Amino acid sequence: MVESVLALLSGGPRLVDPATPVVRADDLGLARGESVFETMRVAGGRPAFLSLHLDRLARSAERVAIALPGGWEGLARFAVDAYAEQDGVLRLTCTKGAPGAEPVGFALVTPVPPTTLHARQHGVSAVTLQLGVPAALRADAPWLLGGVKSTSYAVNMASLRAAEDQGAQDAIWISSDGVVLEAPTATVAWVADGRLVTPPAEQVGTLPGTTAAVALALSSVPVETRLGTVDELRGADEVMLLSSVRGVAPVIRLDGVDLGIGPVTAALRAAYEEAVLHG
């Protein structure tokens, strides 16, 4: 079995046993969900697109009022260097800490789950689910923390369970006014009229994806960042989910309709996999 690696930011970076408890019971990250995190691919023994993730970590921390300590790049590289495998998942977490105490930072490197590899290669089935808010709301109400990668992911996980209850592997959130938003752990993109379309994160309050930023620049067809309706999504030629560890995952079935793996998705997946090794 591949050994996971846990490295702490404070007093280090330093390695500890991966089973070590690292947060206090009164840490606000635990008690109130006030923690921020980043998950990225380890490829060829390096953390892929680390600077994009570190920039987003800093932006998330600011929105959750966490005084982010320094040293994250060193921590990330230190943890990945201590990991025996070339490929894995690196998760960086910073909790707000206990009241009056310092934030707590750590890096965990683990193997890529087999289900993730399967989804990348063979695709996923997905269903659309209501998020229950109008598309513009999260951008207009910053306290809803749209676009922030905090550990308050209980709604995201519940959405995945709701999708599973419907026999699917993933979900795509739709606003109450019928606009496509994102998936619980991925950016959504689709192919319509020969163009690759993805929703504008800042307009709909979704997480600005690092994978989308890298992959869409490699697209073989023109890219459009604009709002799209659920009807447009259901009528799309191809649909894909973009996220750091899965990469470009084809949506092979949407709301019960088979889509398969289209040529634009396949080409983008190949280009992204190449870029991951150098990014």
Crossing angle of the two packed helices 50-63 and 72-82, in degrees rounded to 10:
130
- x-marked contacts with ligand PLP along 165-184 as a string, rule CB under 6 A: -----------------x-x
Q: Is 191 helix (H, G, I), strand (E, B) or coil?
A: strand
Which residue in 43, 186, 240, 264 binds ligand PLP (CB under 6 A)?
186
Q: Is 87 helix (H, G, I), strand (E, B) or coil?
A: coil
- x-marked contacts with ligand PLP along 73-92 as a string, rule CB under 6 A: --------------------
With binding defined as CB under 6 A, does residue 243 bind ligand PLP? Answer: yes
Task: Give the CB-nearest residue to ligand PLP.
Answer: 211
Binding segment toward ligand PLP, per CB under 6 A, in 14-22, 122-130, 242-250, 265-273: 242-250
Taking CA atoms, 2 is separated from 116, 119, 154, 168, in Å, by 16, 21, 28, 29
Which residue in 35, 150, 169, 210 binds ligand PLP (CB under 6 A)?
210
- In terms of CB distance, is 38 or 98 closer to ligand PLP? 38
DSSP string, 142-172: GGG-TT--BS--HHHHHHHHHHHHTT-SEEE
CA quadruple 80, 83, 87, 92: dihedral, nearest 10: -40
Q: Evaluate whether 16 touches 78 at the Cβ level (below 8 Å).
A: no
With binding defined as CB under 6 A, does residue 279 bind ligand PLP? Answer: no
Which residue in 108, 242, 248, 249 binds ligand PLP (CB under 6 A)?
242
Binding site for ligand PLP (CB under 6 A): 39, 182, 184-187, 206-207, 209-212, 242-244
